[in-house]
Amino acid sequence: MPSGRQDPFVEALKQTFLIHLRRRYEPMILVNLPGIRGDSKIPGHVGEIEFDTYRFGNLNRDPDAGRNSVLAYDLILTKRKDSSSPRFMEFFMSGKQIPRGEMLVVSRIPGTEAKQSLLYGMEDLFISYYLPKVVHDPSGSIYTEDIGINFKKVMTAISRSGM
Report pTM: 0.71
Mean pLDDT of 43-61: 85
Q: Which of 87, 92, 106 is nearest to 36 (CA)?
A: 87
Domains, the chain, with CATH or none:
24-158 (2.30.110.20)
Predicted pLDDT of residue 99: 96
- For 8-37, how does the pLDDT look when each residue is reduced to its tens digit (9 = 90+)? 666 665 555 444 444 444 568 999 999 999
- For 69-124, how does the pLDDT look when each residue is reduced to its tens digit (9 = 90+)? 666 678 999 999 999 999 999 999 999 999 999 998 877 656 666 575 788 899 99
DSSP tag of 155: E
